[in-house]
Amino acid sequence: MRAVGLVGAVGVLLLICVLSIMIGAKPMPLGDVWHGLFDPTGTGNDIIVRDVRVPRTLLGLLVGLALGLSGAVMQGLTRNPLAEPGLLGVNAGAAAAVVSAIAFLGVDDVRDYVWFAFAGAAVVSVVVYVLGGSRTATPVRLALAGTAATAALYGYVNAVQLLNSAALDRLRFWTVGSLASATMDTVGRVAPFMLAGAVLALLISRPLNAMEMGDDTARALGAHINRTRVIAMAAVTLMCGAATAACGPIVFLGLMVPYMVRALTGPDMRWILPYAAVLAPVLLLGSDVIGRMIARPAELQVGIVTALVGGPVFIRLVRRKRMAQL
């Protein structure tokens, strides 16, 4: 049944991708979408499909996959069903690095944000791992270190924005979370990081299963605890750093989707990770489509829509007793 459900989820994702290309400030029939994708002749609709909506959809796929997998890995790593990718300070590190690049180095091209965001995420991940005790790190220590780093870094981000009006103007749109600035160049720059992180995440599904039963049990089952934690943090850093650089910090997605997936698959990470990789892009692209529909001809940024749509749903899920534990 889980395999059938996964196939169904892939079908829903394909449908959402088609809708993402069809719907925008200018509605486009399916025939024009097909023409723009497979038989372009340079018409206005062809340009919109190939240069605007296809990159936006591809970026949504990648970012959704990255955040969904990151959330699932974090929940398994910390044995906390309410953990999310930002728990290790990765998003905050990426945001702080981008703010610094804009305010002090004059970087103004979103395509260049990825390198700073990735560097910031990587540095913060290492710092959090060291603060958490390195070889003696535990889920609680990592969570506490990540929370402290996140608070400090977001304080720095807010201070820079208040003191530097130019940085504030440039960051106002980026910090909301949006796919609107997507280009094929942006997709090409972030895709290798996200895909590499996704491969690492899928490779550690078995040891994460063992670690959810506790460190002692995991060692008895042959899992390498510290190696798994390092790989997990590397995977989250790669995926979240690139996702944050591409479209800004999109919160909530990596928290809700893996939590919901557990209701469908049970606690087996070998199923949770693939389901999260498929369903998180469904939610992200679906939210992006909704944002384009309700504010047409303008749009509501996807970071706002995911919070508005997902918040009430998640609150209801948390209140259901049968989903209260892993």
**pLDDT tens digits, one per residue of 271-304:** 999 999 999 999 999 999 999 888 777 788 888 8
- 199-211 mean pLDDT: 92
**Most confident residue range from 130-139, 181-190, 192-201:** 192-201
**pLDDT tens digits, one per residue of 212-237:** 777 778 888 777 888 898 899 889 88
Residue labelled with tokens 């989250």: 236
Q: Give the predicted TM-score (pTM) of the model.
A: 0.87
Q: How far apart are CA 323 and CA 156, in angstroms?
A: 37
Residue labelled with tokens 């996140």: 150
Tokens representing residue 29 in the block: 């029939």
Residues 299, 276 contacting (CB under 8 angstroms): no
Radius of gyration of the chain (CA): 20
Q: How far apart are CA 274 and CA 261, in angstroms?
A: 10
Position 9 scores a pLDDT of: 95
**pLDDT tens digits, one per residue of 54-98:** 999 999 999 999 999 999 998 888 877 777 777 778 888 888 898
Q: How far apart are CA 265 and CA 204, in angstroms?
A: 17
Position 317 scores a pLDDT of: 62
Can you give the length of the chain in residues?
Answer: 326
Q: Which long-range contacts (CB under 8 A, 24 or more apart) does 216-224 make?
A: none
Residue labelled with tokens 């489509």: 289
Tokens representing residue 120 in the block: 């910031």
Q: How far apart are CA 14 and CA 282, in angstroms?
A: 9
* C-alpha closest to that of 95 among 237, 238, 245: 245
**Of 98-107, 210-219, 310-319, which range is least confident?**
310-319
Tokens representing residue 299 in the block: 């749009």
Q: How far apart are CA 143 and CA 156, in angstroms?
A: 20
The model's confidence at residue 42, banded by pLDDT at 50, 70 and 90, is: confident
Q: How far apart are CA 210 and CA 220, in angstroms?
A: 9
**Higher-pLDDT residue of 186, 282:** 282
Q: Name the helix (H) or strand (E) containing 270.
A: helix 269-294
Residue type, 311: G
Residues 45, 29 contacting (CB under 8 angstroms): no
Q: How far is CA 306 from CA 15, 209, 252, 254, 258, in A?
A: 19, 29, 7, 11, 15
Position 324 scores a pLDDT of: 43
Q: Cα-flanking dihedrals φ and ψ of residue 98, to 5°?
A: -65, -40
Q: How far apart are CA 82 and CA 326, in angstroms?
A: 10
- Angle, CA of 5, 84 and 92, to the nearest 5°: 140
